[in-house]
A and B are shown apart, each in its own frame.
Chain A
Amino acid sequence: MIIIPSNKVMLLGWESVSESREKGFFDFEFITWMAWTWQTAVFFIFIALCLVAMVLWEKKVPGGTPRRGLLGLDTTRGDRLFISLLSSAFIHLAWLGIVGSILWIATIISIGFAVVVFRYF
């Protein structure tokens, strides 16, 4: 016999989540379900534009200009974009965790760091 601890029993309010509307199979309200906001949409459009820009850049100067940068890593342009984006995520998170307000300063730091990454990494 397995005794299930009480914390595993989760009573959820699922009834109220699904009850309201009757829907057809293809009528799944994609946009509402994904809870889009213009701010997050702008963010993802920015990411998409970054990728498009990388493709265009690759067309213009093929090969991705690989080099050994500051960290001793072999990076191409794509690696540098990835490093910039990931570090900007961490810069923003650190800013939110430590300072909390005036988030655009973190954005400026991230852009500055991205420039450094693209130049020297």
Chain B
Amino acid sequence: MNKTVNQKAWLFVIPVFILVAFNAAVPLMTVVNYSFQETFGNNVFTWEGTRWFKQILRSDRFHDALGRQFLFTGIILLIQIPLGIFIALTMPKKGIGVSVCLVLMSMPLLIPWNVVGAMWNIFALPEIGFLGHTLNDLGFDYNFTQQIGDAWFTTVLMDVWHWTSLVVLLSYAGLRSIQPAYYQAAEIDGASRWAVFRHIELPKMKKVLTIAILLRFMDSFMIYTEPFVLTGGGPGNATAFLSIDLVKMALGQFDLGPAAAMSLIYFFIVLLVCWVFYNLMMRNEEQK
């Protein structure tokens, strides 16, 4: 069969092309240009070669921020994924409870990031916040603005509150797509609850869970607004994750060159992880 060749469709790509050029390609190119130069403003740049890259790659500050970032992302994945699956498993499968649960679950996802940060900031303040005050009344020495452990606890708790629902909704969608025949077969075989989970539900959820892990990894790896509003990266630099540290460097110190080099390194890490997940998803697709 001969296909008719019609190149008019390219015209429809032009708006997207312009959009991508201006919101992705041009800024990215500019960042690459900045990363090799030094500036003090007024569009005057001097060539610095690979100096900023060397400086960033060897600086303890960057290593610490990267370490904190991976630790944070690791912790929230370890909490949110199992917790999300567990909640999805306990959610009702029919009746009015389904809508109630789904609406309740979606609520945190609809709140803007900075509002989440502000809410948790007030909620956790040791003097007046409900959480902070209660914890102190119970005898815990809790103050997230001064103690590193408390700052981490609050940040992780906030993220778990904000984003576990996403994992729940995805897992629930995965669970609902399992045919009843599988459960009936399991029942006939006398399979235990664990066996049903391990051999029916988990394999069937594999695809959505890969997406859930990818989304949660990316969001938490690029997290900025919530910890910025909640702790501002403090106390000290204890919760200064990569993006917070980056903005401090770029805007706080106006070190555009090093900040550009750091964002490129950051970008390559994100790109690598994306690629790994993309391949995992493709492999899942194939096995199906």
| Residues in A lying within 8 Å of B, measured CB to CB | 2, 4-5, 7-8, 10, 12-13, 16-17, 20, 29, 32-37, 39-40, 43-44, 73-74, 82-83, 86, 89-90, 93, 96-97, 100, 103
B36 touches A97 (CB 8 A): no
Interface status of B37 (Cβ within 8 A of chain A) = yes
B54 touches A34 (CB 8 A): no
B271 touches A93 (CB 8 A): no
B50 touches A103 (CB 8 A): yes
Name 17 extra pairs, CB < 8 A, besides A13-B41, A74-B286, A97-B54. A2-B118, A2-B121, A2-B122, A5-B232, A8-B232, A32-B43, A34-B33, A35-B30, A35-B34, A35-B37, A35-B39, A36-B33, A40-B32, A40-B33, A44-B32, A82-B275, A93-B57
The number of chain B residues with a CB under 8 A from chain A is 39
> Given A5-B145, A16-B41, A34-B33, does the pair A73, B279 have CB atoms closer than 8 Å?
yes
Contacts of A44 in B (CB 8 A): 29, 32
Contacts of A20 in B (CB 8 A): 42
CA distance in complex: A90, B275 (Å): 14
C-beta contact mask, B17-48 vs A, less than 8 Å → 1, else 0?
A: 00000000010011011101101011101010
A96 touches B41 (CB 8 A): no
Interface status of B104 (Cβ within 8 A of chain A) = no
Contacts of A33 in B (CB 8 A): 30, 43
A12 touches B254 (CB 8 A): yes
> Given A34-B29, A39-B36, A97-B58, does the pair A86, B275 have CB atoms closer than 8 Å?
yes
Interface status of B53 (Cβ within 8 A of chain A) = yes
B54 touches A100 (CB 8 A): yes
How many whole Å from B51's CB to the nearest CB in chain A? Answer: 10
Contacts of B33 in A (CB 8 A): 34-37, 40
How many whole Å from A86's CB to the nearest CB in chain B? Answer: 6
How many whole Å from B185's CB to the nearest CB in chain A? Answer: 32
CA distance in complex: A97, B57 (Å): 5
CA distance in complex: A110, B151 (Å): 42
Interface status of B174 (Cβ within 8 A of chain A) = no
B36 touches A40 (CB 8 A): yes
How many whole Å from B256's CB to the nearest CB in chain A? Answer: 9
How many whole Å from B29's CB to the nearest CB in chain A? Answer: 6
B54 touches A10 (CB 8 A): no
> Given A44-B29, A93-B57, does the pair A86, B268 have CB atoms closer than 8 Å?
yes
Contacts of A2 in B (CB 8 A): 118, 121-122
Sampled A-B contacts (20; CB under 8 Å): A2-B121, A5-B232, A10-B251, A10-B252, A16-B42, A17-B41, A33-B30, A34-B26, A34-B30, A34-B33, A35-B30, A35-B33, A35-B34, A37-B45, A37-B47, A39-B36, A74-B286, A86-B271, A96-B57, A97-B58
A90 touches B268 (CB 8 A): yes
B268 touches A93 (CB 8 A): yes
CA distance in complex: A44, B234 (Å): 39
How many whole Å from A41's CB to the nearest CB in chain B? Answer: 9
CA distance in complex: A96, B50 (Å): 8
A35 touches B275 (CB 8 A): no
C-beta contact mask, B46-79 vs A, less than 8 Å → 1, else 0?
A: 0100100110011000000000000000000000
How many whole Å from A104's CB to the nearest CB in chain B? Answer: 12
How many whole Å from A32's CB to the nearest CB in chain B? Answer: 5
Interface status of B157 (Cβ within 8 A of chain A) = no
Interface centre among B41, B42, B45, B122 (most CB of A within 10 A): B41
